Amino acid sequence: MLSLDFLDDVRRMNKRQLYYQVLNFGMIVSSALMIWKGLMVITGSESPIVVVLSGSMEPAFHRGDLLFLTNRVEDPIRVGEIVVFRIEGREIPIVHRVLKIHEKQNGHIKFLTKGDNNAVDDRGLYKQGQHWLEKKDVVGRARGFYQENSSVEDRNYLFLILEL
C-alpha cells in the first residue's frame, strides 16, 4: 500500500506556501547566478575564475590551481604576462605566458605565447595557418591565484610575480 506520510509536510501547505518554497529554491540558484554574472561584469572577462588543467606552467602553476582573471580594455597586454586564451574552434581555454608582441599605432596587437614548462612556443597549438593570437582570443589576464597545497614561501613568491 502506498504510504505518503513523508509528504505530509508538503500536503499541509497551501498553494502560497508551496509557491514560496519553490521561490526560495529559485532565489538560492539566482543568487549564485547573479554573483557569477556580477563578477563577469566587474572583471570584464567572460570567465572570471578558471582552473589550471595542465602542467604546462610549472613551477608557477600546478594542475588544480584557481586563477582570477580580468579583461579590462585599458590594460594593455605586455610581454611576460600570463594570459588565458581560447583558440578558435576549441572550447577549453589555455593558460600560458606572452612571448612576443607586434603592436600597431592604433593599438591593434598580435602576440605569441608559450607555456613555461613547454619546450616550444604555441604555434603548434594554434589553428591551421594561424601564427599569432589577437585580443579577441583572450579570455583574461591572470591577476591572482589560489593554490591548495602550497607553502607560505611559494605563495609569497608567486604573489610578487603577479604584482598583486
Partner 1 sequence: MAAELHRAGEAVVWEAIVGLAVVPTAGQAVAVVKWKTDDKPVKIDKWDGSAVKNSLDDSGKKKYVENFGLIDGRLTICTIACFFAILALLWDCMHPFPESKPVLALCVISYFVMMGILTIYTSYKEKSICLMAHRKDPTGMDPDNIWQLSSGLKRFDDKYTLKPTFISGRTKQQREAKFTKSIAKFFDHSGTLVLDAYEPEISRLHDSLAIEK
Contact residues for partner 1, defined by CB under 8 A = 1-2, 4-5, 8-9, 11-12, 16, 19-20, 23-24, 26-27, 29-31, 33-34, 37-38, 40-41, 44, 46
Among 45, 56, 65, 137, the active-site one is: 56
Q: Indicate the residue among 8 and 153 with the shorter CB distance to partner 1.
A: 8
| Spatial distance between the Cα atoms of 54 and 64, rounded to a whole number of angstroms | 8
| Contact partners, residue 122, CB within 8 Å, separation at least 6 | 94, 96, 112, 113, 114, 115
N-term to C-term CA, the chain: 65
Active-site choice (47, 54, 116, 122): 122
Cβ-based nearer residue to partner 1, 26 or 76: 26
Please report how close the Cβ of residue 54 comes to partner 1 at its closest, in angstroms: 25
Q: Is 31 an active-site residue?
A: no
Considering the complex, state which of residue 115 and residue 140 has its C-beta at the smaller distance from partner 1.
140
Paired residues of 70 in beta bridges: 141
Clarify whether 54 is annotated catalytic. Answer: no
131 as an active site residue: the answer is no
Q: How far is CA 64 from CA 18, 53, 71, 85, in A?
A: 41, 6, 22, 18
Q: Catalytic residue numbers?
A: 56, 96, 122
